[in-house]
Structure 1
Amino acid sequence: MRLKFIPPLMPTLVEKPPEGDDWIHEVKFDGYRSQIVIDEAGTRIFTRNGMDWTAKYPDLVETAKVLNVDSAIVDGEIIVPNEAGLADFAALRKAITRRQHDLYFVAFDLLHLNSHDLCDLPLEHRRELLVGLIPAGSRIQFSESLPGETKAIFHLLDQAGMEGMVSKRRKSKYRSGRSINWVKAKCYAVDEFELLGVEREAGKPAFALMGEIGTRRYVGSAFINSSREIRERLWKRVQEHAGPAPKGMKRPATQWVKPGLIGRVKHLRGEEDLRHASLQDFREEDGFRK
């Protein structure tokens, strides 16, 4: 029987991870959500959107033979660990085309096994079956649940520079689409970006529009919830150094600024662009006032 890709169950973003014995907690890996499908036709690897990327992952396709199953559908994340053992998203993109041996598949759920649909089984039972399939020392690894008290786990992940954690109800069935049976809580990072302009409209919060330092590529907006002193100083600098809008950007309520203002932004870790971001402070590069 030829198996079909199953659209993944997607966790809901929450501010804080849930507590209690009804939940298991895992590391949220910074990689590509993927699905390994094994059947009589061979091994295929799909993206989270169902695109067949088997040809892009020849090493992992070969590695999947260690599972020693007739048929299976395994849900997981493709990552590249750095020297500290943390998933490195930037390295992942390069590894797909240049260093296949750096790729790992972290497996966290089993949806099908040897002609049996497992989606109606409780999560903890599916994971028991999954861990029994994965031999030690392989580049297919099991996503271990994290022991301990929820707040302490999350604090340790944050201190270690992890993206966050995913919490899953032990008894939950697997259902495609967004779910509250799986939730993700993300850690925050603080980084510097170039200020492109400030968006202000009467009766609405003000936002700083941020870009990559050097390229000024727009990466998102940051809520300006800094102190009154910082807000007033920022607006004064923006007015003094008004400039043209970056190429291709049209936002009528925005006062654009010349290059030279660098903002310190708190934002969710592990996102390509800014999410849940706030401007903490800003500085001026040398020569900005000239």
Structure 2
Amino acid sequence: MKMPFELCLATAAKQVPFGPDWIHEIKHDGYRILVIRDDKRVRLLSRNGTDWTRRYPWIIQAALKNRQQHFAIDGEAVILGVDGVSDFNALQSRKHDHEAQLYAFDILAMGGDDLRDLPLHMRKTKLEQLLARRPDGITIAPFERGEIGPDLYRAACRMGLEGLVSKRRDRPYRGGRQRSWVKVKNRAPPSMDREL
């Protein structure tokens, strides 16, 4: 299936950027998903355009409960373990597809308007407006602004999380690999058989 939007991809880096122009998000261990709603139809597309609409019913239900009839959200499908950390093994097993929820981190279109030319901080505001009465199934991915990035990265690593994605708050959304989105992975990622 042809992707209606080319996804923005983060560039790998060794250090978290520092300064007031950056927004920092925890990198969750899940699958990148584009959620597109057109009236009563919702589609879930994987990063490479595979149709995963039937795979995650909770995300579909949440999208259909939204008052807005037209939107495109970029996010990560995750299954949270009992410790509140994303469990990639559970997601990969396909045994818990009904538990997968979306951590939404960007909005590309809403109400017929293409929002990709807006700076990130304005898109985040639009996303918050869209999900203000958020039903379970789609949640805004938490983020922090500014100089906290390196400290947040260290905290994420201590918690066994996958790492951090830092994004320039003043940049538009552009498809392909971008330097305005930077990912720094936990160099000691959680082991596959981590005790809960």
Task: Name the TM-score, length of structure 1 as normaliser.
Answer: 0.62
Residue number among 125, 136, 139 corresponding to 2:137 in the alignment: 139
SS class of match (1:127): helix
**Residue equivalent to 2:63:** 64
Paired residues of 2:17 and 2:150 also in contact (CA < 8 A): no
1:151 aligns with 2:150: yes
What are the residue-to-residue correspondences of 1:141-290 with 2, within 5 Å?
141-146=139-144, 149-189=148-188, 269=189
**Residue equivalent to 1:225:** none
The number of residue pairs the alignment matches comes to 189
Gaps of 5+ in 1: 190-268, 273-290
Paired residues of 2:61 and 2:137 also in contact (CA < 8 A): no
1:111 aligns with 2:121: no
- 1:40 shift after superposition: 3.2
The C-alpha deviation readout for 1:88-107, integer Å capped at 9, x for no partner, is 1001122x3x3333211000
Gaps of 5+ in 2: none
**Residue equivalent to 2:122:** 125
- 1:59 shift after superposition: 3.0
Paired residues of 1:5 and 1:35 also in contact (CA < 8 A): no
* CA–CA separation in structure 2 for the residues paired with 1:63 and 1:151: 33
* CA–CA separation in structure 2 for the residues paired with 1:84 and 1:137: 22
- 1:144 shift after superposition: 1.5
After superposition, the Cα gap between the structure-2 partners of 1:271 and 1:175, relative to the gap in structure 1 and judged at 3 Å, is farther
**Residue equivalent to 1:81:** 80
**Residue equivalent to 1:101:** 98
Paired residues of 1:166 and 1:184 also in contact (CA < 8 A): yes
* CA–CA separation in structure 2 for the residues paired with 1:66 and 1:21: 36
SS class of match (1:54): coil
Task: Name the TM-score, length of structure 2 as normaliser.
Answer: 0.90
* CA–CA separation in structure 2 for the residues paired with 1:61 and 1:41: 10
Q: Identity percentage over the alignment?
A: 34
* CA–CA separation in structure 2 for the residues paired with 1:35 and 1:46: 5
